[in-house]
Amino acid sequence: MQEGIIKRRGLMLVLSSPSGAGKTTISRKLLEREENLRLSISTTTRAPRPGEVEGIDYRFVDDSSFRCMVEKGAFLEHAQVFGNSYGTPRGPVQRMLEQGGDVLFDIDWQGTQQLRESAREDLVSVFILPPSTEELSRRLHARALDPEHVVRQRMAKAASEMSHWAEYDYIVVNEDIEESVRRVTSILAAERLRRDRQIGLRAFVEKLCAETEQRD
């Protein structure tokens, strides 16, 4: 198969959405199904929620460690979200991309803007929208992971987050999780086949043409 012969540059798949639109579930299912896709684990100053595991969901650090990492240039991007700091560590992402692996980012619009400036050609951005305000509110309350005032704060923030939808390459309205996963999988499959991501394609086609000419 062509995929095996021609080397490919890894791509950066960003998923953004307001909290409660289903992004975390979509990410989890994608990671289960896509062998060549790894999650970029962010660093945050937010406290762990029940069930969250250090090094799997996030790397949890205090404010001064975070500031120190910013000063050292350890982040590919970083931003303040809901009063906490979040950042994408540079090293692991670069290693995964160099090995031809694709990297999934669950980051907000501020981080996506920064990645677009620093790595436009590697970036594929997808914004997930909830099907309605009622559904968004229902999902945020059903999670029951955050205190009520945090849920209210997230609802209030959702509109301003959603206003950034037009900065993204693709938009998926998440009415049904399985259908949304299929859509993001299709985006990933098509983006992997983009001509400029397939390094070595020119040499492959030149050889193909030369061999074809010699046949007759």
List CB contacts of 76: < 8 A, sequence separation 6 or more: 87, 88, 89, 90, 93, 114, 115, 118, 119
Interface residues with ligand 5GP (CB under 6 A) are: 19, 42, 46, 77, 79, 81, 86-88, 106-108, 110-111
- Cβ of residue 76: shortest distance to ligand 5GP, in angstroms? 9
Q: Measured at CB, which residue is nearest to ligand 5GP?
A: 111
Please name the residue that has the structure tokens 């959702």. Answer: 158
Task: Name the residue nearer to ligand 5GP (CB basis): 86 or 168.
Answer: 86
Name the phi and psi angles at 59, rounded to 5.
-100, 120
- Cβ of residue 19: shortest distance to ligand 5GP, in angstroms? 5
Task: Name the residue nearer to ligand 5GP (CB basis): 81 or 173.
Answer: 81
Task: Name the residue nearer to ligand 5GP (CB basis): 66 or 188.
Answer: 66
- Cβ of residue 88: shortest distance to ligand 5GP, in angstroms? 4
Task: Name the residue nearer to ligand 5GP (CB basis): 1 or 144.
Answer: 144
List, in sequence order, every residue forming a beta bridge with 8; answer none if it has no partner. none
- Cβ of residue 28: shortest distance to ligand 5GP, in angstroms? 13
List CB contacts of 41: < 8 A, sequence separation 6 or more: 55, 56, 57, 58, 59, 89, 92
List CB contacts of 79: < 8 A, sequence separation 6 or more: 85, 86, 87, 107, 108, 110, 111, 114
Task: Name the residue nearer to ligand 5GP (CB basis): 19 or 198.
Answer: 19
Under DSSP, is residue 127 helix (H, G, I), strand (E, B) or coil?
strand
Please name the residue that has the structure tokens 């397939």. Answer: 198
- Cβ of residue 192: shortest distance to ligand 5GP, in angstroms? 23
